Amino acid sequence: MLSLSQLKTLLATPQKIVITTHHKPDGDAMGSSLGLYAYLIQKGHHVKVITPTDYPYFLHWLPNNSDVIIYTDEQEKSAALVAEAAIIFCLDFNTLTRINELGELIRQAPGYKAMIDHHLDPEDFDDYRHWNINACAAAQLVYDFIVNEMEDGAFLTKDIATCLYTGIMTDSGSFRFPSATSTVYRIGADLIDAGAEHWRIHQLVYDNATENRLRFLGNCLSNKLEVIKEHNTAIITVTAEELAHYNIVTGDTEGIVNYALSVNGIRLAAFIIERKDKVKISLRSTGDFPANEICRKYFNGGGHRNAAGGVSELGLTETVAYFKSILPEYKTQLLL
């Protein structure tokens, strides 16, 4: 293990550092990674952000995005960087299976592994851990790491603030989920004071859709939404053919599950999508309903209580039928 004071001593001189985050990074994954990147660069370290896969176009405007290395595009370079790193920061995930092949490279790498995360059930692969499931975003924990652990609040630049604000905004549903406590609002205010333009960040992330994406959303709502009143559940199903028809790219499907959850009375929403090699399921729930339990038990996945995901080895139609067959087990909780 590595104590905070040992980590501080290590970070007192320039180090080779890798920052990585989960597969198909979202706003929190990229915001926390690039926020930490901007901080560590400023402190004189040699830093690379390596993502396991590509990520949505509406995050490509983030400061220093052009420095990001995508593992699937540059495997050899990524492997060399991971092997040489003195410290590998793992942000917004806590099991190495969430980062595909990069996970094994990191497991075998000699450098210290530092986890900054807010998901349940961390795997024991790390040497240093800044972990809190009550945090609304990994970006909140990066803020905490910089300001309270490293005692470097004076180093919060506009770039750092912009990235961290993006992570907190996206993971807290624009500061509206229960996880957006008064502390989170205070951190948001501090980030605005440090230069984050909250109105601009919101616009770049949420008002940045392609025409195709909007028409695809229209199709999902008009033709693909199924409401199962008996179980207060709504499902949106998407075929590979529809993805091709609407030219859907990484990021275009993000957030669509929330429309299903916004139907009056719905407690559980599912977005089930036929990807190239597998069927992916995203669940959202309200209140105490454990969406992550369903993903863990039936879809080889996990996540938070109200936002979870997993995969299915079955075909699309069979996966939808399988999902529906699980609902009676949760009948009482769904009707609460």
CB 38 within 8 A of CB 64: yes
Given 302, 306, 320, 330, the residue binding ligand 5GP (CB under 6 A): 302
What is the closest distance, in whole angstroms, from the C-beta atom of residue 218 to ligand 5GP in the complex? 21
The crossing angle, in degrees rounded to 10, of helices 182-193 and 158-171 is 150
Given 308, 320, 327, 334, the residue binding ligand 5GP (CB under 6 A): 308
If binding is defined by CB under 5 A, does position 28 make contact with Mn ion?
Answer: yes
Instruction: Give the C-alpha distances (Å, rounded to integers) separating 174 from 53, 161, 168, 184, 314.
Output: 25, 16, 8, 11, 35
d(CA 114, CA 126): 6
Of residues 173 and 195, the one with the C-beta less far from ligand 5GP: 173
- 205-244 binders of Mn ion (CB under 5 A): none
For tokens 């004076």, the residue is: 154
Three-state DSSP at 295 gives helix
If binding is defined by CB under 6 A, does position 224 make contact with ligand 5GP?
Answer: no
What is the CA 218 to chain-centroid distance, rounded? Answer: 25
Candidates 11-19, 156-164, 204-212, 307-315: pick the segment binding ligand 5GP (CB under 6 A).
307-315
Of residues 17 and 142, the one with the C-beta less far from ligand 5GP: 142
If binding is defined by CB under 6 A, does position 301 make contact with ligand 5GP?
Answer: yes
If binding is defined by CB under 5 A, does position 138 make contact with Mn ion?
Answer: yes
Neighbour tally for 336: CB within 10 Å: 10
How many residues contact ligand 5GP, by CB under 6 A? Answer: 11
CB 231 within 8 A of CB 251: no
- 40-79 binders of Mn ion (CB under 5 A): none
Q: Is 227 exposed, middle or buried (0-12, 13-18, 19+ CB in 10 A)?
A: middle
If binding is defined by CB under 6 A, does position 2 make contact with ligand 5GP?
Answer: no
If binding is defined by CB under 6 A, does position 115 make contact with ligand 5GP?
Answer: no
78 binds, among Mn ion, ligand 5GP, none (CB under 5 to 8 A by kind): none
- Full DSSP string of 243-274: HHHTT--TTTTTTHHHHHHTSTT--EEEEEEE
What is the closest distance, in whole angstroms, from the C-beta atom of residue 279 to ligand 5GP in the complex? 11
- Full DSSP string of 302-316: EE-SSEEEEEESS-H
Candidates 46-54, 200-208, 220-228, 296-304: pick the segment binding ligand 5GP (CB under 6 A).
296-304
Which residues sit at the interface with Mn ion, rule CB under 5 A? 28, 92, 138, 171
Which residues sit at the interface with ligand 5GP, rule CB under 6 A? 119, 282, 301-304, 307-311
